[in-house]
Amino acid sequence: MKPYTLIVAATKTYGIGINGGLPWRLPKDMAFFKHVTTLIPKTSPQHLQNVVIMGRVTWESIPAKFRPLEGRFNIVISRNLDYDLQGAPNTILVDSLEKAVALVDPERHGRVFVIGGAHMYQLAMAETHCSHILLTSIDSDVECDTFFPAINDTDFRVATHQELEAYVEQVVPQGVQLHKDIGYEFLLYIRQ
Ligand code: FOL
């Protein structure tokens, strides 16, 4: 099975969402998400497409105009296989994370990202196939009703900034960034 990366923006208390959406609007973090999840590493065949795996609730949280996430193969997980994807192109529905990961085809697909939500993150992080976690750490006490599982430091180490830039093949701003009154920092965790 192919390893995958969790990508998430979370507060220091691991809050990730409120009322079915994101608790903040951070344009540069969203641009980072789009870049990283779309990028095919320069050493891989450029005809590949990355895969984004998400739970049904996260699918519904993406604004309709951005759904499916363009340039990426979208896999939506729901126990209800009658769930209506409303004809979304380049998107399939499966009923488990295992089936989602099993659908990844090395001939067609590049990197694999689990993009949420709380339940998918929890299932996905528990597997040794979860090789990386890209965390945008948000310094805000904004109210959240949905939480990312705590990252266990015996399973994951914080990568250096150089390792982060090598992974995303891009210059990444180092240290705490400010958007209006919200501080945030791009971090990479690697399974050890
Ligand atoms: N990871 C990070 N770092 N930040 C996030 O906001 C984030 N969000 C999710 C998962 N991982 C994340 C899940 N939620 C879109 C909307 C919500 C969402 C994920 C993606 C979305 O609409 N993305 C568009 C770009 C939209 C824009 O430019 O405003 C895309 O094409 O990726």
**Residue 53 CA to chain centroid, in angstroms?**
8
Q: What pLDDT was estimated at residue 2?
A: 87
Which residue out of 25, 30, 57 has the highest number of ligand 1 atoms within 8 Å of its CB and is therefore the one to mutate?
30
What atom in ligand 1 is closest to the CA of residue 135? 3
CA neighbor of 182 nearest in space, from 7, 21, 58, 10: 10
Domains of the chain plus CATH, in order, are 21-111+122-182 (3.40.430.10)
- Location of structure tokens 């993150």: 121
Please report, in tens digits, the pLDDT of each residue of the chain (192 residues total): 789 999 999 999 999 999 999 999 999 999 999 999 999 999 999 999 999 999 999 999 999 999 999 999 999 999 999 999 999 999 999 999 999 999 999 999 999 999 999 999 999 999 999 999 999 999 998 999 999 999 999 999 999 999 999 999 999 999 999 999 999 999 999 999
Does the C-beta of 63 come closer than 6 Å to ligand 1? yes
Burial 147-158 (b: 16+ CB within 10 A, else e): bbbebeeeebee
Residues 6+ apart with CB under 8 A from 95: 77, 78, 79, 80, 81
Q: What pLDDT was estimated at residue 52?
A: 98
Nearest CA to ligand 1 atom 8: 8
CA of 69 to the centre of ligand 1 (A): 9
CA of 18 to the centre of ligand 1 (A): 15
CA neighbor of 97 nearest in space, from 84, 78, 74: 78
Q: What pLDDT was estimated at residue 99?
A: 97
